[in-house]
A and B are shown apart, each in its own frame.
Chain A
């Protein structure tokens, strides 16, 4: 569905994205993660047709996006800075959207009203940040988009609204195979909803994987050995990180569960515990691998 290939982008002389390629399947929810300033928003703005890439190809359904109205009519981009026309109410914005998006569904708009419980005759500028977010989702989902691109979408929403909106997105994915691209710093949130993730760092894609595969591939091991008869350097394991807390080793290793268990068992551990990693931990260790590490420094 979304196909990005070898994309470069720079502003003035500053290179923002270098040779970025990734692919999002139809009906998938893809989480775009990245360090601060990695170029996530720039990438999303290109997907929305706001910016043009310097080099490479940005396609949705085998068609370009920049200055391509047809594709843009099937796509909604919710930026982290929402924009509404000045002095407009939700209803007026709705009428404006209806004139732009052929997919606009008035019935759906009415249905969503009961869910959001916002006054659509009230000026948007009077709304709080969270209410503006809700209004943006209300409008976006009323256009019945094929592709939904969300930049920090849950910012400012309370827990109940978050869940409601997530549920709405999932309904659209389940029922009509809407494709969703989400960027967020809240990895917990991405973890619950995404099936694929891509990590962007300094304008390059570090890795792109099925989320469950990624989790099955990296493990956190806690093990203790008799008389310290263990040397992490001597194992066949692909060790990403070693830490020794007292007599207990904490290892982050790559490999299948079986391989890892076998190898550790061959050292006859007294204690052996395997924990799946959270997305947050994966992110931190992968980032550590490229020198973007958390350092415990007292300032």
Chain B
């Protein structure tokens, strides 16, 4: 399903969370779709099942997935309010990128243009 970079400094558990979030946000994992079980994933990726368990728990508390006892974990029908934290993080990242873009000489109009592109792109999808 995906690969982790075990040579990265980023803790495996954070990598897992990020990867799964990406898959959920980009609809690779659809609403109410079942996530691979802890066992499957542990074996596939050769990583500690406890780490995966922990990542799933974190995703659940952030509202990305829900779990049913004895059945496994599923993608939460996108309740956007559960993603406040994520939004905050993206906002911070954007701020930094904007600052960098402006420093490198990008104008306000160019940024607006970019934004339009992104919006348009999504509509045509």
Kindly list chain B residues whose C-beta atoms are within 8 Å of the C-beta of A194: 48
CB distance from B72 to the nearest CB of A (A): 14
A275 to B10, CA, bound (A): 8
The answer to whether the Cβ of A276 comes within 8 Å of any Cβ in the partner chain is yes
Q: Which residue of A lies closest to B7 (CB)?
A: A188
Is the pair A278, B9 in contact by a Cβ cutoff of 8 Å? yes
Given contacts A174-B39, A216-B11, are A166 and B46 in contact (CB under 8 A)? yes
Q: Which of B22-30, B49-57, B63-71, B113-121 contacts A (4 or more CB under 8 A)?
A: B49-57
* B13-A212 in contact (CB<8A): yes
A29 to B50, Cβ gap below 8 A?
A: yes
Q: How many A-B residue pairs have CB under 8 A?
A: 53
Instruction: Decide if B59 is an interface residue (CB 8 Å cutoff).
Output: no
Taking a contact as CB atoms closer than 8 A, the residue among A166, A173, A216 that contacts B49 in the complex is A173
**Contact partner of A212 among B11, B38, B43, CB < 8 A?**
B11
Q: Which residues of chain B have a CB within 8 Å of any CB of chain A?
A: 6, 9-14, 38-39, 42-43, 46-51, 54
Q: CB-nearest residue of chain A relative to B4? A: A192
Place the interface of chain A in its size category. Answer: 20 to 34
Neighbouring B residues of A211 by C-beta, 8 Å = 11
Contact with B along A143-186 (1 / 0, CB 8 A): 00000000000000000000100110011011100000000000
- Residues of A in contact with B (beta carbons under 8 Å apart): 27-29, 163, 166-167, 170-171, 173-175, 192-195, 211-212, 215-216, 275-278
Distance, CA A211 to CA B49, complexed state (A) = 14
A-B interface, 6 closest residue pairs, ranked by CB to CB distance from nearest: A174-B49, A195-B50, A174-B39, A174-B42, A276-B9, A167-B46
Task: State whether A174 touches B9 (Cβ < 8 A).
Answer: no
Do the beta carbons of A212 and B51 come within 8 Å of each other?
Answer: yes
Instruction: Choose among A28, A170, A212, A278 the residue that contacts B46 (Cβ–Cβ < 8 A).
Output: A170
A170 touching B49, Cβ below 8 Å: yes
Q: Roughly how many angstroms separate A278 CA and B14 CA in the complex, as a whole number? A: 14
B46–A174 touching, CB < 8 Å: no
Minimum CB–CB distance from B5 to chain A (whole Å) comes to 11
Query: Contact: A192 with B12, CB < 8 Å?
Result: yes
